Chains A and B, each alone.
Chain A
């Protein structure tokens, strides 16, 4: 560990809630170090927010490092491993702003920081609203996270646990890819962001029809435990399977799913990269959720 004080890690995005959330983060907490990660591509779209970041950093005189993450998955993992595991460049107290962080990155960082026994906190800013038509599309092949691909046993069949989101095609794609014997759909409760219509469990169940046995459970990612108890209870019901788990729903469910993983390291953590993200993904900034891992 080379740095002292508090560390904040965020992912550069063009969304309002990224820069406005960052401003709130930096004005309410005295961070000594700020690591800004960025995925390749859409630099023009992110430029405005990046300039704002630099301005704030200069004003606040924070140690800053901009880390550009390559598109290649193995290279991306190795880069983050080098920085946050081998060199261990953060301080003991780390906050992840997961607002615009992909699940893959959230879990990767949690794995490094958890193994280094850091004090991990997280922040998440909801938007005012999501785009009503689409958020991401052209999903790529589902991937198991490096070092989190579970323990597969020959004697067991496969089961898939999906915390569903707005995109039923993602559910269909996961089922088509893994061909599980059982699918457990974890459905978010509540009416926020038109959830009941866009994340209707019947729609998700329909896309699995004829291919696999489907069971459903409910969770609330916006509750204190972000649905951890529900997820854990659901996982206990499919212990006799080789389980692949994924979070496609509210971002906070990525936290609770990872916590479940730490208690069930035989499960494989899966994410589905998307090739396209809507430039009008969201607007504004809404409620904030903070917690300690």
Chain B
């Protein structure tokens, strides 16, 4: 969606809508890679590697050319501008490619036709029975895209244009196409073009180029994590979430703030405040230093609410904007989906189609429903049904891992001294053989968007560490607090292995536990 948003077509339409002049200095070209063309695998029948490479690059180059032409043809100003130079542009390309372009079309239209024709002829050749069916007029990035872009810049509107070629779903490229793309990324001169490549988080693309070199992060490319990370109300994500919700409310003529629209359950709010007050008093008895008091309250304030809940009580009445932002786990789609479900629910039950706010009871209902759905997906349905490459066995192992993680978080919430509300973790004692076994499960969990990762600083000599963040939508069904604390729990690789493969509980950290003053469970056992 981000790439599409930044495409020249969307940006041009946006500028027109806003009554602004569109500047042609940056032209975003959306190049989708999830098409049947990229599913073709006749290249693997060819005897020689270089033949497979040529065919693969040929398809990719034609796709890029087609996307450029289609994008620019949607903009009237460009169409009009190119018509004035039609003959020159066509003659130049005909000379460069030793072809004859159809006379009755404009320059861009005829290049589009050329790309389509070449693609079709190649596919017909590849699909013909018999060995090594190779299309002999394959094109490459250097032979077609570069001269085409140079030619386009003869159009006055585009003379200073920089073409951002945005490869969407690039994880669908085959290995030859990935290597070709890496080679193009490594070009030194990016005056006229650059690449924006979107891949799924779990996909670990090759960094190798066509001639066996490597592209280096920082030198040849930069990575941008699209999953925002957040900790508290003041974090960038939290502010962004509120802005997004405010805008969505304005679109349906609701002028309230998101805080007003998603009110918290008063008893939930009261309970949290009372728990915090209790812990403040406790902290003041223990410490004089304000920072120590603050941190004590930060660690135990909310945990106290969950610890003191009656074992026979229902699950907490999850509600309020903060909870909604928390369970989204830093992902905008996870934020909007439950909000939409809540709005839709209220609209269906409304007599006058006027929604002023979402009752806290509705919020709780939807949040718990979404949470239950996530567990149904994990346990009853199984991720093998939806994640490519996930076996039935692995689906069960992933469920066991998350099930045991929730049990661990529950134990921590009830008993842990220093990190009671830690609901993120990093993996310690990373034995390579153990990691080899558990990594596929972590990858599957990420593909399923049940687990997110980010790089953070380790306390150990300032190294970078991967932090794992389970999707917080999993927590409400288990009566846990989706608002975690800033810290991460250390979980040994072998414990993760045992939890997933043998369904063994994570071992309790006895030295860091406290005994509850009150008896009872976190929640009534039969609630989920």
> Which A138-193 residues have a C-beta within 8 angstroms of B?
138, 140-141, 143-144, 146-155, 158, 169, 172-173, 176-179
| Contact indicator A143/B41 (Cβ below 8 Å) | yes
- Residues of chain B with a CB closer than 8 A to A236's CB: none
Chain A nearest CB, measured from B39 CB (Å): 5
| Contact indicator A153/B116 (Cβ below 8 Å) | yes
For the complex, is B164 an interface residue (Cβ under 8 Å from A)?
A: no
> Contact flags (1/0) for A39-74 with B, using CB distance below 8 Å?
000000000000000000000000000000000011
For the complex, is B85 an interface residue (Cβ under 8 Å from A)?
A: no
For the complex, is B431 an interface residue (Cβ under 8 Å from A)?
A: no
Report Cα–Cα, A138/B67, bound state, in Å. Answer: 36
> Which B18-46 residues have a C-beta within 8 angstroms of A?
34-37, 39-42, 44-45
For A77, the closest partner residue in chain B by CB is B45
| Contact indicator A115/B36 (Cβ below 8 Å) | no
Task: Select B39's contact among A74, A137, A144, A147, beta carbons within 8 Å.
Answer: A144
| Contact indicator B70/A74 (Cβ below 8 Å) | no
Once A74-B44, A77-B45, A173-B386 are accepted as A-B contacts, the answer to whether A138 and B36 lie under 8 Å apart by CB is no
Chain B nearest CB, measured from A262 CB (Å): 13
Report Cα–Cα, A77/B392, bound state, in Å. Answer: 28
For the complex, is A293 an interface residue (Cβ under 8 Å from B)?
A: no
Task: Select A74's contact among B35, B45, B62, beta carbons within 8 Å.
Answer: B45
Once A144-B40, A158-B36, A268-B36 are accepted as A-B contacts, the answer to whether A85 and B119 lie under 8 Å apart by CB is no
Report Cα–Cα, A169/B395, bound state, in Å. Answer: 14
Chain B nearest CB, measured from A124 CB (Å): 25
For the complex, is B63 an interface residue (Cβ under 8 Å from A)?
A: yes
**Chain A interface residue number, banded:** 35 or more
Task: Select A149's contact among B40, B62, B384, B389, beta carbons within 8 Å.
Answer: B40
| Contact indicator A149/B35 (Cβ below 8 Å) | no
Report Cα–Cα, A153/B115, bound state, in Å. Answer: 10
Report Cα–Cα, A62/B36, bound state, in Å. Answer: 44
Task: Select A115's contact among B41, B63, B124, B129, beta carbons within 8 Å.
Answer: B129
- Residues of chain B with a CB closer than 8 A to A169's CB: 385
For B43, the closest partner residue in chain A by CB is A74
Report Cα–Cα, A268/B40, bound state, in Å. Answer: 9
- Residues of chain A with a CB closer than 8 A to B385's CB: 169, 172-173
Residue in B36, B126, B385 whose Cβ sees the most chain A Cβ within 10 Å: B36
| Contact indicator A111/B386 (Cβ below 8 Å) | no
Once A144-B41, A146-B45 are accepted as A-B contacts, the answer to whether A176 and B36 lie under 8 Å apart by CB is no
> Contact flags (1/0) for A98-130 with B, using CB distance below 8 Å?
000000000000011001000000000000000
Report Cα–Cα, A78/B44, bound state, in Å. Answer: 10
> Contact flags (1/0) for B120-142 with A, using CB distance below 8 Å?
10011011111100000000000
| Contact indicator B386/A149 (Cβ below 8 Å) | no
- Residues of chain A with a CB closer than 8 A to B81's CB: none
Task: Select A141's contact among B128, B130, B389, beta carbons within 8 Å.
Answer: B389
Once A154-B115, A172-B386 are accepted as A-B contacts, the answer to whether A147 and B36 lie under 8 Å apart by CB is no
Once A74-B44, A153-B120, A154-B119 are accepted as A-B contacts, the answer to whether A177 and B388 lie under 8 Å apart by CB is yes
For the complex, is B88 an interface residue (Cβ under 8 Å from A)?
A: no
- Residues of chain A with a CB closer than 8 A to B392's CB: 137-138, 276
Report Cα–Cα, A73/B319, bound state, in Å. Answer: 52
Chain A nearest CB, measured from B519 CB (Å): 45
Once A151-B120, A154-B70 are accepted as A-B contacts, the answer to whether A141 and B41 lie under 8 Å apart by CB is no
> Which A236-260 residues have a C-beta within 8 angstroms of B?
242, 244
| Contact indicator B42/A147 (Cβ below 8 Å) | yes
Once A146-B42, A146-B45, A148-B127 are accepted as A-B contacts, the answer to whether A138 and B391 lie under 8 Å apart by CB is yes
For A157, the closest partner residue in chain B by CB is B35
- Residues of chain A with a CB closer than 8 A to B126's CB: 147, 149
> Contact flags (1/0) for B100-121 with A, using CB distance below 8 Å?
0000000000001001100110
Chain A nearest CB, measured from B264 CB (Å): 30
For the complex, is A292 an interface residue (Cβ under 8 Å from B)?
A: no
For the complex, is B364 an interface residue (Cβ under 8 Å from A)?
A: no
Chain A nearest CB, measured from B56 CB (Å): 13
- Residues of chain B with a CB closer than 8 A to A209's CB: none
- Residues of chain A with a CB closer than 8 A to B123's CB: 149-152
- Residues of chain B with a CB closer than 8 A to A77's CB: 45
Report Cα–Cα, A39/B467, bound state, in Å. Answer: 43
> Contact flags (1/0) for B507-528 with A, using CB distance below 8 Å?
0000000000000000000000
For the complex, is B66 an interface residue (Cβ under 8 Å from A)?
A: yes
- Residues of chain A with a CB closer than 8 A to B37's CB: 152, 154
For B115, the closest partner residue in chain A by CB is A154
| Contact indicator A85/B129 (Cβ below 8 Å) | yes
Task: Select A244's contact among B36, B42, B384, beta carbons within 8 Å.
Answer: B36
| Contact indicator A173/B127 (Cβ below 8 Å) | no
| Contact indicator B384/A138 (Cβ below 8 Å) | yes
Report Cα–Cα, A86/B131, bound state, in Å. Answer: 9
| Contact indicator A147/B386 (Cβ below 8 Å) | no
| Contact indicator B34/A179 (Cβ below 8 Å) | yes
For A137, the closest partner residue in chain B by CB is B392
Chain B nearest CB, measured from A35 CB (Å): 19
For the complex, is A2 an interface residue (Cβ under 8 Å from B)?
A: no
For A114, the closest partner residue in chain B by CB is B129
Chain B nearest CB, measured from A109 CB (Å): 12
Q: A144-B40, A154-B63, A154-B112 are in contact. List 13 more A-B contacts (CB 8 A).
A: A74-B45, A144-B39, A147-B129, A148-B127, A150-B36, A151-B123, A152-B123, A153-B116, A154-B115, A155-B70, A158-B36, A169-B385, A244-B39
Q: 13 interchain pairs (CB within 8 A)?
A: A77-B45, A78-B45, A111-B129, A141-B389, A147-B129, A149-B123, A154-B66, A154-B67, A172-B386, A173-B386, A176-B386, A268-B39, A275-B391
A-B pairs, top 9 by smallest CB distance, nearest first, are A154-B66, A152-B37, A74-B44, A149-B40, A152-B36, A169-B385, A147-B127, A151-B123, A242-B36
